[in-house]
Amino acid sequence: MRSLLFFCLGQVVHGFGRGSKQLDIPTANFPEQVLDSLPADISTGIYSGWASVRSGAIHKMVSIGWNPYYKNVTKSMEIHIIHTFKEDFHGEILNVAIVGYLISEKNFDSLESLISAIQGDSEEAKKKLDLPEHLKLKDDNFFQVSKSKIMNCH
């Protein structure tokens, strides 16, 4: 996993509705303005990191870019938080620290292959995030940022 560090903050918006319904892998989606604030040369792919909703508990996460299986025409920032939430949190503030790049995106020939790959990526992210250099970022002050902060990445 190639290390990098970006902090992103934004309000969770409705996405395509595929994560929970088709994949049984829910995602929290950032608005375009958050995605647009990432460096222009950032590669799409699978990233790992930490996420917090409402400045609450911090959980491991993976994110995705173009979603070639679904033939997206625009990039999206879909965060799969590796945790089961009891309630919907659309409209809430999501803090994300992207700490590593796992792999590039690829297309799949079936929905089952896509689901299997996401589950494998999640397992890989869990292992990598347990490394001391990534684990310490879970305690970063960024996760205490309030709603009044501007929504973007830095």
* Domains recognised in the chain with CATH numbers: 11-27+34-54+66-153 (2.40.30.30)
Strands (E), 12-53: 28-29, 46-53
Sign of CA dihedral 20, 21, 23, 24: positive
8 Å CB contact between 84 and 76? no
Q: Please tell me the predicted confidence (pLDDT) of residue 151.
A: 65
- Rounded to an integer, what distance in angstroms lies between the CA atom of residue 46 and that of residue 140? 22
Q: How many residues does the chain have?
A: 154
Q: Please tell me the predicted confidence (pLDDT) of residue 47.
A: 93
DSSP conformational letter for 42:
P
Q: Please tell me the predicted confidence (pLDDT) of residue 145.
A: 63
Q: Residue holding tokens 């290390």?
A: 3
Q: Specify the pTM.
A: 0.86
Residue numbers of the chain with a pLDDT score lower than 50: 148
SS3 74: coil
Q: Please tell me the predicted confidence (pLDDT) of residue 134.
A: 92
Q: Residue holding tokens 């089961």?
A: 84
32, 78, 105, 112: the catalytic one is 78
Q: Is 78 a catalytic residue?
A: yes
Q: Please tell me the predicted confidence (pLDDT) of residue 148.
A: 47
